[in-house]
Amino acid sequence: MADISFGSGDVWLVGAGPGDPDLLTRKAERLLAMASIVFHDALVSQAILDLIPRQVMQVPVGKRSGRHSMSQPAINGLLVKSSHNGHRVVRLKGGDPAVFGRMTEEVDALQAKGIRVQVCPGITAASAAAASGVFSLTRRGSTRALTFITAQGCGNGQSDIDWSAIAGAQTTLAIYMGRAAAPHIAEQLIANGLLPSTPILIAVNVSSPGERLIRGRLDRLAALMATVGDKDPALLLVGEVTQANAEAADLSSEWFELPIGMASAPKVRIRA
């Protein structure tokens, strides 16, 4: 096991993974034990926060999609100040810091002040969702691309996503922060070439005890997303791969049927 360089004034950006403490990397756990202060997002699970030693200061900075309790410049300022005060600083982020984690802003702010910053990766939600659903995000010969997208702002016309470039039949789409934009996402993907029947999976509270995997089709996305609680983090996967092993999942999980719209409308299944 390699030694970790973590001196006074150093900052580590650490991925907390999707929520299950068993999916936290060994390096991340070691860094939490070595830190003197930890700034953590709201998506970091309590089970992971419980791994932080009692003597380590914990500071919630509460960033979640659509609900930011602290601005990014304010967070940057706290990191810089804590480093200048001689702390060993961990910035703990849900998932992987490099996947829609605003890592660049924090690295730039720290390096501009001459502060040493390093990164410990984490498991991103898309990987955890595929693991729970027992399917691969790519498939040789049929699914040749995997595209990560943030849908923040899509619902109010602020998105600059090129939908025609990403709506490919041989592509799996992993869409983060897409709850509010679900109707817009489905509309744009169908308008740009995906079939209404394209399989989708909504992973809710992925890897946590309250995990739900909701399988359906693209033209039912808005209705399916409406079944997700406002406070529950949800990831959307779009593509043929999400159908793989659906029957095997049936054998090991409790499922129930959710009617969408009229009684004659197609039904979808939710793993509870």
Marked catalytic residue, from 41, 93, 96, 219: 41
Please count the residues of the chain: 272
Q: Do 174 and 237 contact (CB within 8 A), yes or no? A: yes
Nearest-angstrom CA–CA distance, 190 and 170:
15
Helix axes 72-84, 103-112, angle to 10 degrees: 40
Residue 103 bears catalytic tag: no
If DSSP codes are grouped into helix, strand and coil, which group holds residue 119? strand
φ, ψ at 81 (rounded to 5°): -65, -45
| Burial class of residue 256 (count of CB atoms within 10 Å of its CB; 0-12, 13-18, 19+) | exposed
Give the three-class secondary structure for 15. Answer: strand
Specify the DSSP class assigned to residue 71. -
Catalytic residue among 93, 103, 177, 225: 177
Taking Cα atoms as reference points, which of 147, 84, 145, 138 lies closest to residue 116? 84
Q: Is 177 a catalytic residue?
A: yes
Query: Is 113 a catalytic site residue?
Result: no
Taking Cα atoms as reference points, which of 179, 183, 184, 143 lies closest to residue 163? Answer: 184
Q: What span, in angstroms and rounded, lies between the C-alpha atoms of 85 and 104?
A: 23
Any idea which residue has 């702390």 for tokens? Answer: 87
Q: In what order do the strands lie in the sheet with 212-217?
A: 145-150, 171-176, 234-238, 199-204, 212-217, 267-271, 255-259
Residue 147 contacts residue 171 (beta carbons within 8 Å)? yes
From the candidates 63, 93, 96, 219, give the one annotated as an active-site residue: 63
Catalytic (active-site) positions? 41, 63, 177
